[in-house]
Amino acid sequence: MLRTVSRVVAICDDCGTTASDEDATVLAFADEADAFWVVTSEYGPDGYGAWSLLPGGGLVCHACYARSLCGDSGHDWHVYPCQCAAADQPSGCSELVRVCRRCDTAMTTHRDGGGQR
Ligand SMILES: [Zn+2]
Ligand SMILES: [Zn+2]
Ligand SMILES: [Zn+2]
């Protein structure tokens, strides 16, 4: 027989993405507690990271939570030698790249900032 059942999906209050698994299949949960438990688990619904409740209320995905943390307290920069030219020049291009460990924003010291060769 066919029967309609109501399921719970988790939607990011910031970017509007719907929680899905690592294959991008939208996850539907039996109830809100189940949904909350899965999306806020350590690796999140898709393995990229946990969703979080914001202090002011609202549920946001891993990427939006990282952006909001970086917006409040600045990026968690780590500096590496730029690898953009390493294939051509064994010594590299001698520029640096800064990568935020939290939100994955990357900036290089190249004048164009884009990391193109
Ligand atoms: Zn989001
Ligand atoms: Zn950041
Ligand atoms: Zn470079």
User: Which residues line ion ligand 3, judged by CB < 5 Å?
Assistant: 82, 84, 93, 95
- Whose atoms come closest to the Cα of 95: which ligand? 3
- Whose atoms come closest to the Cα of 70: which ligand? 2
Summarize pLDDT for 40-55 with one digit per residue, the tens.
Answer: 999 999 999 999 998 8
Give the separation between CA 101 and CA 90, rounded to whole angstroms. Answer: 26
- Whose atoms come closest to the Cα of 112: which ligand? 3
- Whose atoms come closest to the Cα of 49: which ligand? 1
Alpha-carbon distances of 104 from 15, 20, 64, 97, 112, rounded to whole Å: 17, 20, 12, 12, 19
Summarize pLDDT for 6-60 with one digit per residue, the tens.
Answer: 999 999 999 999 999 999 999 999 999 999 999 999 999 999 999 999 888 899 9
**pTM of the shown model:** 0.72
Tell me, in angstroms, the distance from the centre of ligand 2 to residue 107's CA. Answer: 11
Rounded to 5 degrees, φ, ψ at 73 are -120, 10
- Indicate the SS3 state at residue 71: helix
- Answer whether 81's CB lies under 8 Å from 96's CB: yes
Give the separation between CA 18 and CA 61, rounded to whole angstroms. Answer: 9
Tell me, in angstroms, the distance from the centre of ligand 1 to residue 66's CA. Answer: 9
- Answer whether 29's CB lies under 8 Å from 74's CB: no
